[in-house]
Amino acid sequence: MVGIFSLATGIPGPSGFGSASTAEQVTHGIDASHLTAIVTGGASGIGLETARVLALQKVHVVIAARNMEAATEAKQLILQGDENARVDVLKLDLCSMKSIKGFVDNFNALNLPLNLLINNAGIMFCPYQLSEDGIEVQFATNHIGHFLLTNLLLDKMKSTAKDTGIEGRIVNLSSVAHLHTYKEGIRFDMINDQASYSDKKAYEGANITVNSVHPGLIMTNLMRHSMFLMRILRMFTYILWKSVPQGAATTCYVALHPTLKGITGKYFLDCNEFEPSPFAKDEIMAKKLWAFSQKLVDSASKP
């Protein structure tokens, strides 16, 4: 297990990596030329670094992003570093179920396999608002959007794993903030309740593994709704903050490292397994969340 001391010092944990490790370091020497990955939010921040490093290890990367101009610039940046990199860009707005379904149709039209799904995109600490589907926007983007996307891509991942014999991996970016939620965990009956909304607390059978990671504290566009507050916080906690290459390390480690073959249902911090909150291990709440999410998706899909 890792703790504040190892986070602050960068001392490696049991995996041989720690908070100071970069995405390139944790994937060094790995040949992933046989893999195809989708990276949501791959146009900026740690999503872009994840896409770049995966491409560097010869993964065929599909950048899924809302801002196509930024996604195209990200692709060009990756190609400048490696002209042989395989990178595609497709539009995806995780706040819109219509956009998610359109993205999946467009991806399937490429006739590519799918080995890795990196659910990286997210928003954080934003003012209260509803998505076009009538769902509180942080919950819609960070959870429901990726819930629907993953379910729509699951058959493709299953068939790829079956046809190739290669383990598929789903990596969900989370946050250590999941340790500080509403006291009851998820307020299922108040998801869209503006009066009780807290921008801080609202954040949060096949040969396929699914793991969650916390990238660490990184100053990226994710902080845009609380940039002033984050800059002040960083002044007093600077030793705990990471660079973007360090922030993408855990994602790339969990996505590509061979030592994690067959490891599933875990939570990783600084490239090492970490104990999640009791709510994260609550099977009853997990089942309730799944049913609740499916009901929301089904109701929003009705004409």
Helix or strand or coil: residue 284?
helix
Q: Which two tokens stand for residue 155?
A: 């058959």
The whole-angstrom separation of Cα 168 and Cα 157 is 6
Catalytic annotation, pick one of 182, 197, 203, 253? 197
**Quick check: is 182 catalytic?**
no
**Cα 108 to Cα 12, 105, 125, distances in angstroms:** 40, 5, 33
- Count of residues in the chain: 303
Sheet bearing 267-269, strands edge to edge: 87-91, 60-65, 36-40, 116-119, 168-173, 208-214, 267-269, 272-273
The whole-angstrom separation of Cα 17 and Cα 272 is 7
Helix or strand or coil: residue 173?
strand
The whole-angstrom separation of Cα 246 and Cα 49 is 9
CA neighbor of 152 nearest in space, from 284, 40, 257, 273: 40
Pairing of strands 36-40, 116-119: parallel
**Cα 126 to Cα 44, 183, 190, 214, distances in angstroms:** 18, 20, 17, 19
φ/ψ of 169, rounded to 5, equals -135, 130
Q: Which residues are catalytic?
A: 197
